[in-house]
Amino acid sequence: GQNIDQPTEMTATEGAIVQINCTYQTSGFNGLFWYQQHAGEAPTFLSYNVLDGLEEKGRFSSFLSRSKGYSYLLLKELQMKDSASYLCAVSPEWEGQGGKLIFGQGTELSVKP
Amino acid sequence: GAVVSQHPSRVICKSGTSVKIECRSLDFQATTMFWYRQFPKQSLMLMATSNEGSKATYEQGVEKDKFLINHASLTLSTLTVTSAHPEDSSFYICSALPADYNEQFFGPGTRLTVL
């Protein structure tokens, strides 16, 4: 089966750094995505990792270790607007199923003043 | 960037009626579109994969006769919720995958409320 785990909730302070972890066990692996979703809105793309290592994009960084089935999303210099749900999603490598995503349950991040 | 639209954004219907939701890729052609459902405070659950010109592939536990999917063109897929019931009330989100591309682009979602 497919299994993606991430913490349900996290709280952090404005200006701080927060790391959201994601572990996965899937039948195959063709990349891992992080999305941000505000309540009642569609997810917006944050990052994509397919090779091991760290990808940095402004205040957001994402790390992947394929051997450990592990990723994290790092948010620096937190702002109040970063309060949202963060979704980890894996693209399993299935025949004829290109692009299919399996989502974790999402991590609800609350940024406090 | 790639834009995906959904229509309607919100719909309220009576129990037993059918509702059609449209998903359009506005500035690219999508060989594959996906339909997700999201209940409050839960993540996205993939319902089905829709390929242009062929039958949709449904995930386990999703009734294909209740959730009819049609992908008639490279820019349009529709989801019809037939004989809707209150338990079908949810946030339905589509995404579109351009050819030879690994990133899905999500629509803004449709909030369905069945009374």
Mutate: best of B6, B36, B46, B104, partner A, most A CBs <10 A: B104
E strands, B1-115, in order: 4-7, 10-13, 19-25, 30-38, 45-51, 57-58, 67-73, 76-81, 90-98, 105-106, 110-114
E strands, chain A, in order: 3-5, 9-13, 18-25, 32-37, 44-49, 53-57, 60-65, 70-75, 84-90, 102-103, 107-112
Q: What is the mean pLDDT of residues B60-83?
A: 93
Specify the range with the lowest mean pLDDT, choosing from A23-37, A95-109, B22-36.
A95-109
Q: What is the mean pLDDT of residues B9-30?
A: 95
Q: How far apart are the first and last CA of chain B?
A: 37
B 16-75: CB under 8 A from A: 32, 34, 36, 41-46, 49, 57
pLDDT in tens, B74-115: 999 999 999 999 999 999 999 998 877 778 899 999 999 999
Residue A59: is its pLDDT beyond 50? Answer: yes
User: Which residue does chain A place closest to B102, by CA atoms?
Assistant: A99
Burial of B4 (0-12, 13-18, 19+ CB in 10 A): buried
Q: What is the four-CA torsion angle of A35, A38, A44, A50, rounded to 10 degrees?
A: 0
pLDDT in tens, B20-54: 999 999 999 988 999 999 988 888 999 999 988 88
Decide if B111 and A40 are in contact by the 8 Å CB cutoff.
yes
Mean pLDDT of chain A: 92
pLDDT confidence of residue A93 = 66
Residue A32: is its pLDDT beyond 80? Answer: yes
> Which residues, 6+ apart, have CB-to-CB distance to A58 below 8 Å?
none
pLDDT level of residue A65 (50, 70, 90 thresholds): very high
- Identify the residue with better confidence: B42 or A94: B42
pLDDT confidence of residue A98 = 58
pLDDT confidence of residue B53 = 81
Mutate: best of B43, B89, B104, partner A, most A CBs <10 A: B43
pLDDT level of residue A33 (50, 70, 90 thresholds): very high
Contacts of B89 in chain A (CB under 8 A): none
pLDDT level of residue B6 (50, 70, 90 thresholds): very high
Task: Report the gap between the CA of A35 and the closest CA in chain B (Å).
Answer: 11
pLDDT level of residue A94 (50, 70, 90 thresholds): low
